[in-house]
Chain A
């Protein structure tokens, strides 16, 4: 679980953060403006590729993607 959190956090920082903004596991990603709704599609694709899952569109909501912790909970729903 910790591994997954760190992998996702690192991916978010590398792909979506342009300055030195710090991203914790609870940092709001969507409502905080770090990841916009269009970019969410690429984040979803990353999770699906990495964890070999398929996240239905109705589960890929801004709320479910709003922090690394929430994303991990979502991914775990589909990897069990």
Chain B
């Protein structure tokens, strides 16, 4: 029996109070995600149940029960409180997928502070714009990532504490640094959890747009209502499940479903902190007897690329339910997973701003490979005309995906950027920035982004950010960044570059520029290809016509070039 039982029945008379009741929450009560993910599960009699089974890259393992989760996150909270961290201060988690990241997340929330998770592969430039915008008070990090924080310290007057979770005892700590050994820190039994309410801020995730700096998406504790129920109905998390969400909590999937959805449902989840290899992944599933696997199309296509033979070495019969998120899951991947695992990956659609799954395929519902599925119960989604912002009302037409605001995990604003936040709404609809069509049976079919943002491996990269970084390289005069198709990552970053006088295109310069961007921003933002050209296509007013370069990469019609400068 699946949790959702029947999608068609669930959409009738749906109300979010279903989730509130299951969580024993009444409007006006305190609601703290940290408590719901640890203390409440213990109160339900599952204190000794394994909550987190963690495996590092060299095979080392750590296990935490729900009681450990409760006490250890209390310890994190106490440490931060003693340090002077106050409610609504921003505390950045800048770590690999280690236990301190998962438990630290709950500890920060327990004192009413705001968690700001950042992808640990970010370079110093990516780090500085996000910490500066959030005016972050503390960063919790590992010694391997601390040098990036130290590098920008002079520009961070708000940053009071750098908390190192694995300090080298042989080396002194640096300026503003403090050591914290989570596993051996005091674990208060009676910890006073800050009484956050539904609208108290919880998580600040940063996401990229076409122009401007990254935006801080502000979520609140009430998001739990959506995250708990979508995890239960879409991911079908059940008491006996061993769950593996492969996403990094530096990104929203890793927090909404790698922490909140998993722990609020009281399941046992496994985390692997190691790089990708097909063998390692299958070995991990077999060893831990994973039953529910939530992954991403990039990973699935990488597994496809590794071939079917490697699968035969492992017993993967434990898998009972698979789902995917991050970018559209192509029909070939769905069909392949059905062939090799005996189960199709169910595609789920949502984004940082929505906080939880919006459109999805559901256990028990007919799957149309390549389709995004249907709106989650309680979500009103449609496709609207890009000019009038009115719903089409007829199937098959391609338009903008539009969602009626009001679900619990909807972002509340962009941090210190209310103006951009307001622009996300048209005619009473929230616009995620994606295009699709709806077929006569109500299934959504993804078409693409409605802007220039690059979706690489499920992560959004701003062409503006990459272009800005490129211009800081001494050889680069001008740059234009677009996506190019890629089998594994769907899209990758491609840069067109003109050089300053005195510089000549060469393979070494190409590599030097790639590495320059990688270190400044992140490996995701590094152009996978750089094309040196004489001039960039521009309008007569001097604006770079990115769409011409994009069309060239995708083999599309170039369209109207009447405003092209040198046409």
Interface residues of A (CB under 8 A from B): 15, 18-21, 28-39, 41-42, 45-46, 48-49, 61-63, 66
Known A38-B524, A42-B526; judge A31-B280 contact (CB<8 A).
yes
Complex CA gap A31/B56 in Å reads 10
Find chain B residues with CB under 8 A from A19 CB. Answer: 143-147
B279 beta carbon closer than 8 Å to chain A = yes
Known A42-B511, A49-B511; judge A30-B143 contact (CB<8 A).
no
Known A36-B121, A39-B523, A49-B507; judge A30-B276 contact (CB<8 A).
yes
Interface residues of B (CB under 8 A from A): 57-58, 96, 121, 143-148, 168, 273-280, 302, 305-306, 456-457, 488, 507-508, 510-511, 514-515, 518, 523-524, 526, 528
Find chain A residues with CB under 8 A from B523 CB. Answer: 36, 38-39
Find chain A residues with CB under 8 A from B510 CB. Answer: 45
Say whether B515 contacts A42, CB under 8 Å: yes
Say whether A18 contacts B515, CB under 8 Å: no
Say whether B57 contacts A15, CB under 8 Å: no
Say whether B275 contacts A33, CB under 8 Å: yes
Q: A18 touches which one: B145, B275, B514, B524 (CB < 8 A)?
A: B145
Say whether A30 contacts B275, CB under 8 Å: yes
Complex CA gap A39/B493 in Å reads 12
B337 to chain A, nearest CB (A): 20
Known A38-B524, A39-B523; judge A45-B514 contact (CB<8 A).
yes
Residue of B nearest to A58 (CB): B305
Known A36-B523, A37-B302; judge A31-B274 contact (CB<8 A).
yes
Say whether B275 contacts A32, CB under 8 Å: yes
Find chain B residues with CB under 8 A from A66 CB. Answer: 277
Say whether A38 contacts B275, CB under 8 Å: no
Find chain B residues with CB under 8 A from A34 CB. Answer: 275
Q: B511 touches which one: A31, A35, A45 (CB < 8 A)?
A: A45
Say whether A28 contacts B528, CB under 8 Å: no
Complex CA gap A13/B327 in Å reads 33
Complex CA gap A20/B278 in Å reads 28
Say whether A31 contacts B144, CB under 8 Å: no
B512 to chain A, nearest CB (A): 10
B98 to chain A, nearest CB (A): 11
Say whether B274 contacts A33, CB under 8 Å: yes
Say whether A33 contacts B273, CB under 8 Å: yes
- Secondary structure class of chain A's binding surface, majority of residues: loop
Known A33-B96, A37-B302; judge A62-B145 contact (CB<8 A).
no
**12 additional contacts (CB under 8 A) given A31-B276, A42-B515:** A18-B148, A29-B275, A31-B57, A33-B57, A35-B275, A36-B275, A38-B526, A41-B514, A45-B507, A45-B514, A48-B507, A62-B275
Residue of B nearest to A37 (CB): B276
Known A21-B144, A39-B518; judge A63-B277 contact (CB<8 A).
yes
Name 30 A/B residue pairs within 8 A (Cβ), A-sorted: A15-B515, A18-B144, A18-B145, A19-B147, A21-B144, A28-B57, A28-B58, A30-B277, A31-B274, A31-B280, A32-B57, A32-B58, A33-B57, A33-B273, A33-B274, A34-B275, A36-B523, A37-B276, A37-B488, A38-B456, A38-B523, A39-B518, A39-B526, A42-B514, A45-B514, A48-B507, A61-B305, A62-B276, A62-B277, A62-B302
Complex CA gap A48/B58 in Å reads 29
Say whether B276 contacts A32, CB under 8 Å: no
B567 to chain A, nearest CB (A): 34
Find chain A residues with CB under 8 A from B145 CB. Answer: 18-19
Residue of B nearest to A33 (CB): B275
Complex CA gap A40/B273 in Å reads 18
Complex CA gap A39/B510 in Å reads 14
Find chain A residues with CB under 8 A from B524 CB. Answer: 38
Find chain B residues with CB under 8 A from A45 CB. Answer: 507, 510-511, 514
Say whether A18 contacts B147, CB under 8 Å: yes
Q: What are the 8 closest A-B residue pairs judged by CB atoms, nearest first? A: A38-B523, A19-B144, A39-B523, A30-B275, A32-B57, A33-B275, A49-B507, A31-B277
Find chain A residues with CB under 8 A from B306 CB. Answer: 61
